[in-house]
Structures are given as C-alpha cells and as structure tokens.
Amino acid sequence: MPSTSPDLPSIDEPDAIIAHVNETLGTTLPEACKAGVVANTHLLNQHWTLLREAGDDGQ
C-alpha cells in the first residue's frame, strides 16, 4: 500500500516549497537555487503522485 503522507507543497506555492526545504535542511536557500529547487520539487511530486496511483489499483 502506498503511504498516506501529505503531498509536497504545490508548484503554485513556490514560497511554501522553499519554506519546506529550508525547514527540512535547517538552512536558508541561496536565491540562485530557488527556481531550480521549486521545479525539481514539482517533478518529484509528480513522480510520487504517479507511483501512488500504481498502489491504488492493486499492489
């Protein structure tokens, strides 16, 4: 069964993504990283969503 953890923040909320990353890493992201981190977090969220869909129909 897939996890029931909440999704990562949506790409529509880039500030929430950056806040999540800062809190998780215990640091403040440099400005130059922010756009790339938001895009990559969105990509990982998409992959996680797809993977959870696999769990929803059987395994």
Partner 1 sequence: MSAEEGLNAIISGDVRGIASAVQTGRVRAVDIAQHAIDRIGMLNGTINAVTRLLNERAIAEAQAVDNAIAEGRSVGPLAGVPYGVKDLFDVAGLPTTAGAGMRRNAPAATEDAEAIKRLTAAGAVLVATLNMDEYAYGFVTDNAHWGMTHNPHDHARFAGGSSGGSAAAVAAGMLAFTLGSDTNGSIRIPASLCGLFGLKPTHESLPMEGSFPFVDSLDDIGPFARSAADLEAVSAVVGGWTVEGAVPSSKVGILGGWFARKLAPELTLAIRRLADAVGAKTDVELPKVAQARSAAFLMTAWEGGQLHRADLARDAMAYDPATRDRLIAGAALPRAAYDDALAFRHWFRAEVARVQERFDILIAPSTYGPAPLIANPVIEVDGQPVAARANLGLYTQPISFIGLPVVAAPLAGPGMPLGIQIIGRPGEERRLFAFARELEEKGLLAAAPAPA
List of residues contacting partner 1 (CB under 8 A):
1-3, 5, 8, 20-21, 24-27, 29-30, 32-33, 35-37, 39-41, 43-44, 46-48, 50-55, 59
Nearest approach in angstroms of CB 14 to partner 1 is: 12
Q: Give least dist CB 35 to partner 1, A.
A: 8
d(CA 55, CA 3): 9
Smallest distance from partner 1 to CB 8, Å: 7
Q: What DSSP string describes 1-57?
A: ----PPPPPPTT-HHHHHHHHHHHHTS---HHHHHHHHHHHHHHHHHHHHHHHHHHT
